[in-house]
Amino acid sequence: MTTYLDYNATAPIRPPVIEAMTEAARCHGNPSSVHAMGRAARHRIEAARRAVAALVGREDVDVIFTSGGTEADALAVRGLGRETILVSAIEHDAVLAAAPSAARVPVTGDGIVDLHALQDMLEDTQSGLLCVMWANNETGAVQPVAEIARLAHAAGWLLHVDAVQGAGRLDPADLAEADSIALSAHKIGGPPGVGALLIREGLAVTPMIAGGGQERGRRSGTENDVGIAGFAVAAAAAAEERDAEAMRLRALRDRIGQGARARAPEARIMAGAAERLCNTLSLALPGVAAETQVMALDLAGVAVSAGSACSSGKVKRSHVLDAMFPDDPIAGQAIRVSLGWASTDEDADRFLHAWGAMRDRLSPAVR
């Protein structure tokens, strides 16, 4: 049996989501068809829009369903039509690859956007689109996006927030002033391959995919109504459980972090002094390559990540930790433990057992 501690990569699908998707799959009908079955599908999609917007506490947004967080980020970066783009240095590749020539705003050693540097860059650059994520997928560091929205708007910029990892885990009040927000269903117990871009009402978006004019012309292609039905149920569940789950998972996360540090004083928690996602722990073991740690834990039946998984399945060096620790080998020596709705105390125990054995075998501090 594998101990699954990789929720930031993808979460197991929640049972009620599977039920909702099964039910939706039984009711075929193209949401663009005018007959009753088409209208029923359209109705389900409109209800899902409200559930997804509610997850981030916004009523003043249009919800454009996409194939996931990556497409939502790309649609914001390319579709909002701003020539100048600034991104934080710790954005997900979905944003970085969509804006390859954008200047990068540095972060502190705790993985938080450097607000002084940001302010200077906003003032010294022709205004455009600023992209800052809500919470980082590797360290969990929560960015002060409410404050960043204030700075951006004062300087005439739009703010896009990649909220893929924060949604369902953080208080959505932070997002009240964001101009656009990217979400992904599979990080909150919904299906992979579904996401949404939420844009402030009245903002124009140029589509990346043209065709039949679905999503009010902003994203053509017959909607994935089965996936969208699952996304809606996952969003409602994540919103409802948010506060209780945040408490439960934070306690579990801290038990793992403190347990590791008690066993191995040389271990370090990345972004440890920052406000972090309740479910995310970036744990470095100095002197041991992250890839080696991930493989050793995998052999012991524990699934965690390091850096960002690229499609080849190899561990890619983390640009996030590199931005926090330039020229420091520690950036290549941290693994990510991430928890979620089905995580238990036993998972934490099994991780600590496997991690402790790995550390005793591999850490230079033991030899």
Whether the CB-CB separation of 166 and 197 falls below 8 Å is answered with no
Instruction: Give the CA count within 13 Å in the CB-facing half-sphere of 72.
Output: 28
Q: Which two tokens stand for residue 69?
A: 């967080």
Task: Report, in Å, the least distance between residue 263 CB and ligand PLP.
Answer: 29
- Catalytic residue, from 27, 131, 278, 310: name it: 310
Task: Report, in Å, the least distance between residue 24 CB and ligand PLP.
Answer: 19
318 vs 363, beta carbon nearer ligand PLP: 318
167 vs 358, beta carbon nearer ligand PLP: 167
> Rounded to an integer, what distance in angstroms lies between the CA atom of residue 208 and that of residue 77?
11
Task: Report, in Å, the least distance between residue 17 CB and ligand PLP.
Answer: 15
159 φ, ψ to 5°? Answer: -120, 120
Verify whether residue 310 is a known catalytic residue: yes
Task: Report, in Å, the least distance between residue 145 CB and ligand PLP.
Answer: 13
165 vs 343, beta carbon nearer ligand PLP: 165
Whether the CB-CB separation of 60 and 201 falls below 8 Å is answered with yes
20 vs 135, beta carbon nearer ligand PLP: 135
Q: What does the DSSP assignment read for 131-177?
A: E--SB-TTT-BBP-HHHHHHHHHHTT-EEEEE-TTTTTTS-GGGGTT
DSSP-derived secondary structure letter, 107: B
Interface residues with ligand PLP (CB under 6 A) are: 68-70, 73, 92, 94, 133, 137, 162, 164-165, 184, 186, 195
Task: Report, in Å, the least distance between residue 135 CB and ligand PLP.
Answer: 8
Residue number with the smallest Cβ distance to ligand PLP: 69
> Rounded to an integer, what distance in angstroms lies between the CA atom of residue 136 and that of residue 265?
25
Whether the CB-CB separation of 135 and 165 falls below 8 Å is answered with yes
196 vs 267, beta carbon nearer ligand PLP: 196
Q: Would you name the residues annotated as active-site residues?
A: 310
